[in-house]
Structure 1
């Protein structure tokens, strides 16, 4: 979780530069919100992937589950442009479809 939070806090190199306590608290609260968004999103998609794997008849073993973490972030793009328009491939439930099984 610390690595995720450090990665998300790329502006200012993880240093609180505001001198006012209220401004510092605002920065930390924003970081908490973004961290929670990543964790919830990762959890939802991991759960969908596991359900699809089970539905395809592939076992979900405990050693596989032990490797899962909701704090992974290599698949995220923190820089660049963001669009909040729903793309055409978004499903009725508001989620993007999973990649095909190998």
Structure 2
């Protein structure tokens, strides 16, 4: 089975590109979570499997929350750019990544007093004219 998969991979450029794209996305996410997990260089210190699982789940939740927040901010910015007359290319938008670190204050002060207040509904559709259309 491995030989067949390997031969398909070698002979099919589209399959190689698809696998490379998926691998790059996974590696970008893993690199981002490692950057977020700054304490102890990202190593799990406990040998207790339950504590390890909890730490991994918390890190995953934190990373996904930050990625969602960054994506919301990027979408809002793209909408503002479109209303200001910028031409947005699908290729430019496709090159954007929510795995950014410049908007994250890892050691910053955060106000947690309003965390219990749910945010309103969010319209996730971009709906901007692309290339003058």
Question: Please, what TM-score do these two structures have when normalized by structure 2?
Answer: 0.60
Q: CA deviation at 1:85?
A: 4.2
Runs of 4+ in 1 over 2 A off after TM superposition: none
Matched, 1:12 2:59: no
Matched, 1:34 2:68: no
Matched, 1:60 2:88: yes
Q: Point out the structure with the larger helix share.
A: 2
Q: Which has the larger radius of gyration?
A: 2
Q: Show the counterpart of 1:98.
A: none
Matched, 1:83 2:90: no
Q: What secondary structure, in the 3-state scheme, does the structure 2 residue paired with 1:70 have?
A: coil
Question: Please, what TM-score do these two structures have when normalized by structure 1?
Answer: 0.77
Q: Give the Cα–Cα distance (whole angstroms) in 2 for the partners of residues 83 and 11 of structure 1.
A: 21
Q: Show the counterpart of 2:130.
A: none
Q: What secondary structure, in the 3-state scheme, does the structure 1 residue paired with 2:72 have?
A: helix
Q: What secondary structure, in the 3-state scheme, does the structure 2 residue paired with 1:22 have?
A: helix
Q: Show the counterpart of 1:71.
A: 99
